[in-house]
């Protein structure tokens, strides 16, 4: 989700990512924003995103994250796998209906 958000939004700071995820999910997903930061660190260590300090629109110093090339690939791969998994699941669910 983080990767997708960064893909669509480009450069973004932590709060921005959290808000964006909440908005995209239509406020269905609501977690503590704090859990976001260890996840961001993990992604950075894996090399999927990179970060740098910058200045926000309202002149506040903040850390900005952006997607790397490896991150883009990883996103494509995970999206593909997800579609595949859901497609398989969907087929099962559809196939079972007539029988039940």
Partner 1 sequence: MRPLRATWARFRNLFRTRKLDRDLDAELAAHLEFHIADNLRAGMSTAEARRKALIKLGGLDQTRDDYRGTAGFPFLESLLQDAQFAIRTLRKSPGFTAVAVLTLGLGIGANTGIFTILHQVLLQRLPVPHPEQLVLLYGPGPRQGHISSDENHTDGAESFSYPMYLNLRDRNEVLQGLAAKDSATVNLSFHGSTEQADADVVTGNYFETLGVHAAFGRTLEPADSATVGGNPVVVLSYAYWKNHFAGDLALLNQTLLVNHRPMTVVGVVQPGFEGIQRGFVPQVYIPITQPLSSEPAGFENHKDYWIKLMGRLKPGVTLQRAQVGLAPLYGSLLRDELPLQTGWNDTEKAQFLDKKIVLRPGARGRPILEASAGPQLVALMCLVAAVLVIACANVAGLLTARGAVRQREIGARLSLGASRARLIRQLIVESLLLSAAGTLLGLLIADFTSSTLAHFAEENGIATGLSGALNSPVLLFACALTFLCGILFGVAPALRTTRVELVSTLKEQTGTLASGSSNTRLRKALVVCQVAMALLLVTGAGAFARSLYNVKHIDLGLHPYHVLQFTVAPLLNGYDQTRTFTFFHALEDRISALPSVLSISAAQEPLIADSDRGSNVTVEGESPAEAGSRHALRNAIAPGHFSNLAIPLLKGREFSRADGSGSPEVAIINESFAKAFFPATDPVGRHMKFGGRSGTLNMEIVGVVKDSHHSGVKEQIQPLVYIPYSQEKNVGALTFYVRTAQDPLTVAAAVRHAVSGLDSSLPVADLRTFERQIDRQFATDRLIAALAGIFGALAAVLAAIGIYGLLAYTVAQRTREIGIRMALGADARLIVALLLKDIAVLIAVGVILGLPVSYALGRLIDSLLYSAKAFEFLGIAGALALLLLLTLLASYLPARRATRVDPLVALRYE
CB-nearer residue toward partner 1: 16 or 72: 16
CB-nearer residue toward partner 1: 60 or 80: 60
Which residues sit at the interface with partner 1, rule CB under 8 A?
A: 13-16, 18-19, 32-35, 37-38, 41-42, 44-47, 56, 58, 60-63
- Min dist. Cβ of residue 66 to partner 1 (A): 15
Please provide the DSSP assignment of 6-61 as one string.
Answer: HHHH-SEEHHHHHHHHHHHTTT-----GGGHHHHHHHHHHHTSEEEEEEE-TTS-E
């Amino acid at each position: 989700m983080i990767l997708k958000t960064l893909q669509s939004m480009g450069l973004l700071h932590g709060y921005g990512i959290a808000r964006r995820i909440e908005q995209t999910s239509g406020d269905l997903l609501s977690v503590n924003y704090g859990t976001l930061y260890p996840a961001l660190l993990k992604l950075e260590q894996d090399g999927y995103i990179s970060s740098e300090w910058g200045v926000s629109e309202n002149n506040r110093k903040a850390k900005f994250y952006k997607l790397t090339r490896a991150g883009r690939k990883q996103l494509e791969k995970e999206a593909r796998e997800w579609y595949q998994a859901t497609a398989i699941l969907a087929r099962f669910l559809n196939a079972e209906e007539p029988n039940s």
